[in-house]
Structures are given as C-alpha cells and as structure tokens.
Structure 1
Amino acid sequence: MKNMLLILFFLHALGIVFLLHELGFRFNFTDSMPHGIYQIVPGKPERGDLITFSLAEENPYFQISLERHYLGLNGNRPLLKKLAGLPGDSIKISAEGVCINSKLLPHTQARSSDRYGRQLPIFLKSTVIPSAKGLALSTYTENSFDGRYFGLVNMDQVRRVIPVLTFKFGG
C-alpha cells in the first residue's frame, strides 16, 4: 500500500510538471539569471524583456556548446537572457564590455576562457544589428554564456518571458 501511494504521488507530481510546461512555465536553475520559475507569454519582445530561445544549429558555437555542455547535459536546452539589442542598434565591443548605442552594459566584459580554463571564442563583433536579428545578454552576472560569445540571434526564434517566482541561493 505504501509503495502504491508513493507511485501515485510521483505520477501526480510528474503530471503537474508536464501541465506547467504546456502552460509555458519554465524553471531556471542556472546562474545567468535569478533562479526560479518563468513563464513564456505572448507578445513581441522589446528591448529589456527577458527572452528564451535555443541556439541555432548553424551557429558556430552550437557544436562547441554541445561538447562542453553549455546547453545542458542532454542537448540544446533553451537559454534565458535579456534582449539587449534590436535591429538598427549600434554594438561596440571594447575591453570594458558591450556598448549598445554608446551605453556600456554592466557585466558584459568578455572572458577569454570558461571556468575550466577552456578558450572561449568570441563571435560578437562591433556592428549595427541587421534586421531580424537581436542581441541576447545577461547583465545579471558576468559569467553568463550569452551573445558576447555566440553572437546575434534570430528574432523570429525568441519568445518573451516573465518571471513568476525568483529567488537567490546562498549569500
């Protein structure tokens, strides 16, 4: 009887997780944004909105990301970032970080290696963002795997996200 109750509990919990996923809820336990629950919502993303997207397979970083598990252990996990740049915006890359339309964004200095000492190629260059592209960054932490490295994303692939419940682990 005890085993049957335990099985029913886990089946119900699993059902709730699948239902939440179908309703657009996502869980973030990475450090590039606050940990917590986020929800995909309708609407065209605007500058400063949180977005989610998967790295395109044709992106030069895609294979590196899979090999190094930047996108999770099981493949191409969607990323959660802030939409920092839109078509027509001017991007300038410097030692201080990323400037969008002459405004330096916090925590955007690119690192030359990841936490395991592996070289981080940088594909983002100073440019004007072309139509249908955007720049996804995390200004929450300097250790994020974001557009500083993999470059611009296709705007038709990004979805707007809102935080539902966020929290901070540790200090």
Structure 2
Amino acid sequence: MGETMVERDPHPVLAWLRREALPLVVMLLLLSAARDSLANHYQVPSGSMQPTLQPGDRVAVDMRAYGLRLPFTPVRLLATGQPQRGDVAVFDSPADGTRLIKRVVAVAGDCVQLHDGYLSINGQPLQHALAGELFGNKQVSLDLEEGGGPDIAGITIPAGKLLVLGDHRGNSFDGRFFGLVDADTVYGKAVAVYWRRGQGPAWQRL
C-alpha cells in the first residue's frame, strides 16, 4: 500500500502568524483608530471641574464633535463643528501639553469679564443663581468655596481662540494661567460621566 505524502509548510510560525495573529493585530488597529478618531474616554485627574466632575470620574468623549482626524495624528480631515460656550472640552494645555478637561466659556468675538468667579460675556452677566451660571439653556453649578480665583478685567477673544475655565473657579489651572486655546486643536467634547467616583456605573450627561 502506497503512503500518502503530506506537504508541510516549511515556515509553520509564519503560517500561524498569518492565520491567527494578523487578524488580531488588524482588529486592534481598527479599534485603536476608532478610539482615536471617533470616541474615547478620559479619567478626571483633579478637582478643577467640581462640582460637575469629581477626581476619578470617567468621562465619555465624542472625538467627532469638532472634526474627524486622521487616526494617530492631529491632522483634521473634516470639520464637523466648533466648540460652543458651555461645552466641556478635552484638549492639550498650551503650557506643557498635559491633557486637560475644562469648560469652554468664551469663543471668538466674545468680550469677557470675570469678577469673584462670575462671568460676564458681551456685557451680559451669566450668573443665574447662587454659585451658578447659565450658558444658553445649560445651567452650570460652580464651586466658589475657595473664592473665584484671578479676575479677568476684560478681554476680547480673537478669531480661532477659546477661553476655558474650571467650574471650581478658585482651584483651577486654566486659561487665566496658560492663556487661550486654539479652537482647532481641541480633541473632543465630553458628553457624559459613565463612571462616577464612589458610585460606579452611571450616565450623567454634561
């Protein structure tokens, strides 16, 4: 009886890599690209946005809100919107590149004053209640237990720039210290807290 010859792959490791590892690598790359360009998350490192955000909160970030970017690069492929007053935005600090999360309080053309922690935009005070401000229809609670921090005597925001502040006005390293932020460098818009410190899973829209 004749024997059947079984052809063996001379490179079994390469065959395994093509069959098993390559699809896994492709899937991970696609997931990473989606995370970098479509949706991401951010863990709040400090209390500068209290009471809105607490240290340790985890926040869902819409990376498409202000533009679609080439994955893993800052190159914007398509503009899909601009940061608006009241948005909670994620961006890199102009001071040292640290990833930060703050509230956009003024956009290009706005004339801004800040006194004792309360904003006036274009001559219109935003204070709507004790320790609160109103951005359009969005009510924002402030933490002023440590005062309002440095005042702003009056500046007009130039084209392409944003002023960002923390809701904890007396304890926030924000635009009063590192200056204005380039609008087209903002990574994304924080849309909701999905994990609340000390409470667990949540979905609290911002």
d(CA) in 1 for partners of 2:185, 2:153:
21
TM-score (norm 1): 0.59
**CA–CA distance in 1 between the matches of 2:182 and 2:154?**
17
> For 1:149, what is the secondary structure of its paired residue?
helix
SS in 2 for 1:126: strand
Percent of aligned pairs sharing the same letter: 25
**Which letter maps to 1:36?**
R
Contact 1:29–1:36 under 8 Å retained in 2: no
Deviation of the 1:37 alpha carbon: 2.6
Please give the TM-score of this superposition, normalised by the length of structure 2: 0.50
Task: Read off the aligned partner of 1:167 and give its amino acid letter.
Answer: R
Q: Which has the higher helix share?
A: 1
- Measure, in 2, the Cα distance between the counterparts of 1:54 and 1:38: 17
| Aligned 1:5-20 pairs, distance under 5 A | none
- Aligned residues of 1:97 and 1:110 also touching (Cα < 8 A): no
Distance in 1, matches of 2:118 and 2:170, equals: 10
Larger strand fraction of residues:
2
Unaligned runs of 5+ in 1: 1-14, 57-61, 67-75, 112-121
Deviation of the 1:98 alpha carbon: 3.8
Say how many residue pairs are matched: 126
- Choose which of 4, 29, 38 in structure 1 pairs with 2:45: 29
Higher relative contact order (CA 8 A, sep 6+): 1
Q: What residue number does 1:84 align with? A: 105
Q: CA deviation at 1:85?
A: 0.3
In 2, distance between residues paired with 1:160 and 1:37? Answer: 10
Q: Which runs of 5+ in 2 are unaligned?
A: 1-27, 66-80, 128-132, 134-141, 200-206
| Residue 152 of structure 1, CA deviation | 1.3
Q: Structure 1 168/140 Cα, relative in aligned 2: closer, same or farther at 3 Å?
A: farther
Partner SS, residue 191 of structure 2: strand
Equivalent residue in structure 1 for 2:64, among 35, 42, 45: 42
Residues 1-171 of structure 1 aligned to structure 2 (within 5 Å): 22=36, 23-33=39-49, 34=53, 35-43=57-65, 44=81, 45-56=83-94, 62=95, 76-95=97-116, 97-101=118-122, 102-103=124-125, 104=127, 106=142, 107=144, 109-111=148-150, 126-140=154-168, 142-158=170-186, 159-168=188-197
User: Kindly tell me: are residues 133 and 47 of structure 1, through their superposed partners in 2, closer, same or farther at Cα, counting changes over 3 Å?
Assistant: same
